[in-house]
Amino acid sequence: WTSPKALQTMAANAYEAIHKAYPDSVKYEANYKRLLEELQALDARTAEKIAQSGIEYFIVYHPALTYYARDYGLRQVAIEADGKEPSAKQLTAIIRQAREDGVRRIFYQNQFPASTVEVIARDIDAEYVAIDPLGRDAIANIDTITDLITAK
């Protein structure tokens, strides 16, 4: 998964390659500029929502939001790491910290089973929320995930 900042870099790289192949194309330049404006607005919107929320970290089953977390100064606490389930000690530490911090949501990719997350969520009296980092509309997806992370 990616972040608005990474999407801006990808769009710039794609535009550069297309511009080299079709240097006279006004259509590609206009579309790139429109996309860049959308991505910059998304970046500003995302940063503002996170800043206003006061959220410092979120818990997710699989570490799918690494770039997003990095780009917005959040800490991603992943239950699964390197394809491995957490040890009992690690899980206990995550649960204890989540309780202390009043974590209200634990996220999981809808491509993974909810069972582990469901047990943890129940243990800390939180809800478990499916996200789809692989959704087709990246801009809408980032908005949705940001709203879920920052919701009170």
Q: What is the DSSP string of 66-121?
A: HHHHHHTT-EEEESSBTTBPPPHHHHHHHHHHHHHHT--EEEEETTS-SHHHHHHH
| pLDDT tens sequence for the chain (152 residues) | 678 888 999 999 999 999 999 988 888 999 999 999 999 999 999 999 999 999 999 999 999 999 999 999 999 999 987 878 888 898 899 999 999 998 999 999 988 878 888 988 998 999 999 999 888 899 999 999 999 999 98
N residues, the chain: 152
Can you list the domains of the chain with their CATH numbers?
4-150 (3.40.50.1980)
What CA–CA distances, in Å, run from 93 to 73, 101, 125?
22, 12, 16
CA-based nearest residue to 2, from 106, 144, 142:
142
